[in-house]
Amino acid sequence: MELKITDMRVADIEGLPKHCILLKIYTDRGIVGLGEVRDASSATYALMLKSRILGENPLNVTKIFDRIKQFGGHSRQGGGVSGIEIALWDIVGKYYGIPLYQLLGGKYRDKVRVYCDTDVAGRHTGRDMGKALKKRMDSGFTYLKMDLGMDLLLDVAGALNAPAGSLDELKKYNLKAITHQSGSIDKCLMHEKNYEVFTVPHHVTGISVTQKGLDYLENYVKEVRDTIGYEIPLAIDHIGHIGAGSIIALAKRLEKYNIAWMEDVAPWMYTEILREISRRTTIPICTGEDIYLAQNFEPLMRERAVSVVHPDVLTIGGAMEAKKLDGMCDRYGIAAAIHMAESPVAFMAAVHIAASMKNVLAVEFHSADYPDWFHLVKGLPKPLIRDGYVQVPDAPGLGIEDIDENTVKKYLHKERGGFFEETSRWDEEWANDREWS
């Protein structure tokens, strides 16, 4: 059982639709583990850990995780630690010939439900959105999510109440960043004034939705439901940075449309705000894609501030942290949906982890409109998603044979390096890592 980590390399891609960072960890026995850094993140979060894992035995996943855990953080900062943890599990699986779900204690289900994000570009009506969602249903998806938020109201006179000039500023600087779903957040959307406007918390923007705005959004959802019917779950995301009062008023209007959950209606760290919103509506409140480590979900769960937790396996810290979260779901009576906006590497990690979790609703999927997404890796069944489910593979590790070089090279990120180029400049990175003296 002696195995040594010898190298770590990355390939940044874009256009399917997100900026994704594929990760490989190499060993002295020829086994290569696949992982991925969180979407729209930086490979640096993984590469800075290379010197900490070189020479280690990759089979000791927990020991290595404990060493590098201190370098992870919330949102994209969790991407390096999490991506490495996933790649280590892939190595363990390939070494022993065992699928990841089995390493995590076996599976609760043979196939995992996928929930499909849907967006409609530009000015459109609830009927247009309904038609787009209906198309998803026709292709077999059984669980849906759409955007519903203040971007729909920016051109509707009298729909939003805001400090004079602030809506113009919003339109000018960060509309795409704050409301977008497909495509990647890139640097130009998140620096200087853009960054300032984008990072004002919901409760400080001073923006509220008027009765006219609420009428508009309610009618939009009614048109959606008139098109797709009432029998399929429909979640709502990207509502925008508006205060809790407007979120509650909107939730009350939408209760009769059977909303599966409202997502990220306040920054996740404000437990009391989320608790207040949760107590004042019957719509389940959901957050978690930016939370690092299972323990940081617990205040929200203990206070019943959320009914659905939404971990990203590439932010929470990987497979074992997701399993810990599942235990907490059991204890507090809360469901989990898995956030996923990356490549098939992250997707398959999420599928194995979801199969091994008891309290899972579905795994997210963003790339239904990007056929090449399915060709980024080799060895997965075709079609991968059938009738809205993924069959959990029995091949070792993640169940992926390898990266598909031709497809990945077609989508290499224009500004971020090449195809798994050498990374020896990171071999000597060092700090006195101990967390206490």
DSSP, residue by residue, 108-161: S-SEEEEEEEE---SS--HHHHHHHHHHHHHTT--SEEEE-SGGGTTTSTTSEE
Residues ≥6 apart with Cβ < 8 Å to 316: 78, 82, 288, 291, 292, 293, 294, 322, 325
Supply 120's token pair.
């409609």
For Mg ion, the closer of residues 261 and 374 by Cβ is: 261
CB 51 → Mg ion: shortest distance, Å? 34
237 binds Mg ion (CB under 5 A): yes
For Mg ion, the closer of residues 263 and 321 by Cβ is: 263
Q: Which of residues 242-301 bind Mg ion (CB under 5 A)?
A: 263
For Mg ion, the closer of residues 14 and 263 by Cβ is: 263
For Mg ion, the closer of residues 39 and 263 by Cβ is: 263
Supply 333's token pair.
């009576």
Interacting span for Mg ion (CB under 5 A) from 128-136, 166-174, 214-222, 229-237:
229-237
Interacting span for Mg ion (CB under 5 A) from 127-135, 156-164, 237-245, 249-257:
237-245
How many residues make contact with Mg ion (CB under 5 A)? 2
CB of 386 within 8 A of CB of 365? Answer: no
CB 213 → Mg ion: shortest distance, Å? 21
CB 315 → Mg ion: shortest distance, Å? 12
Alpha-carbon distance 254 to 155, whole Å? 21
For Mg ion, the closer of residues 129 and 392 by Cβ is: 129
For Mg ion, the closer of residues 103 and 313 by Cβ is: 313
404 binds Mg ion (CB under 5 A): no
Strands 259-263, 111-118: parallel, antiparallel or unpaired by DSSP? unpaired
H/E element holding 382? none
CB 289 → Mg ion: shortest distance, Å? 5
CB 114 → Mg ion: shortest distance, Å? 15
Residue 180, phi then psi, degrees to nearest 5: -70, 155
CB of 26 within 8 A of CB of 35? Answer: no
Q: What does each C-alpha distance from 29 to 59, 192, 344, 423 come to in angstroms?
A: 12, 47, 25, 20
Give me the residue whose beta carbon is nearest to Mg ion: 237
Residues in contact with Mg ion by CB under 5 A are 237, 263
